[in-house]
Amino acid sequence: MKKFDIPAHYKSSIISHIKEMRKKDDPRKKDFAPTRLDFGPVVFLIARHFGFCYGVENAIEIAYKTIDENPGKRIFLLSEMIHNPHVNEDLRSRGIEFIMDNYGKQFIQWNEITSDDIVIIPAFGTTIEIENLLKEKGIDTVKYNTTCPFVEKVWNRAEAIGRENYTIIIHGKHKHEETRATFSHSTQNSPSLIVRDIEETTLLCKIIIGDLPEDEFYKFFKGKYSEGFDVKKDLMKVGVVNQTTMLASETQAIADLVRETMIKKYGADNIKQHFADTRDTLCYATNDNQSATTGLVQENADLAIVVGGYNSSNTSHLVELLEEKFPTYFISEAEKIVSNRTINHFDLHTHSEKATRNYLPDKRPVTIAITSGASCPDSIVDDVINKLIGFFDGAADTEKVLNSL
């Protein structure tokens, strides 16, 4: 896989060493067991896969290269480059301005953007409507387009099955930039619909099978289906694609449920005429990170720490997997670890940050599972590990621990 040139301050010493070692020992990524770092009084279980993925590194390389090659030019980002506050703040500090937030709220009006400006399209991609607007302004939408190739793969698959008259069901968060972009692209060729989870899909399937009236569709999915959507004819042939950062197992469960529903309605012999197999749209990095997190869940740990941006979809799903077994703390940086007694962390259920006391047990050794989202720099994970080590008297030297692997 291509090597990207990313800024040195995003790289690490601890995590880089572990990743290189695991890559050498397991080049085909078949072993999802975590790496064990034994410092004596504290033991870390480091997930097999986490951190910057291909799409994120590609976007970061293009963004920093654009800054270096265009001194004096106004450079804009459509919205956040990726869902990590440190990366986005660093780009702002280098002069890049953001045109809108993650939900489309404008900070800078379109009439302020001219053909002399550079506009970077973020890794999530953008809608057809915004891309056309930029083209009309004479702005290059190719050179500075950092859309993840795996997101584009979803668009291409949706286009292919759309041309065969299948309706596109998108598993995603309808306000998320990537899902908005995918929806915009898929509606160019076919009716499209967004489902958030298995519960929404269950309701959809009841409508398909006739257990609920068609009017329920328009009420429940308001704002989530394409213009002119006709329940009578547009749910006869369907295919499922996903926002690439969603929980892969849930996307598969949604596809399986829809397929079973179509078999129930039309018969197994006719399934190919009513359901398109789209398993190949699942992102490799999302799959690897979630499989590695499942590997962590199979271990014994006293707590888990997940590092990443609080608005990161892929990171939140790692938290969901881990909190089923361990006390799990979702933090954006090492500074959230206030002391050996208090940690400030994001609660997915209340969507707010809270403080928890006595998060570290008094027992020795303490075993801590650690992973991060696909948009989190490894250097921040290093900072978290180093801060935690500092709370334990008699902890072994980091270099010796790494050399013993």
Q: Which residues are catalytic?
A: 178
User: What is the residue whose two structure tokens read 């009309």?
Assistant: 136
3-state helix, strand, coil in the chain (%, to 5): 40, 15, 40
Distance set, CA 108 to CA 59, 72, 114 (Å): 22, 19, 12
The secondary structure of 274-301 as a DSSP string is: TEE--GGGS-HHHHHHHHHHHHHHTS--
Structure tokens at 337: 């670890």
Query: Strand 275-276 relative to strand 238-242: parallel, antiparallel, unpaired?
Result: parallel
Burial track 188-215 (b if 16+ CB lie within 10 A, e otherwise) = ebbbbbbbbeeebbebbbebbeeeeeee
CA 243 from centroid of its chain's CA atoms? 8
**The CA-based dihedral angle spanning residues 84, 85, 90, 91, taken in that order and rounded to the nearest 10 degrees:** 70
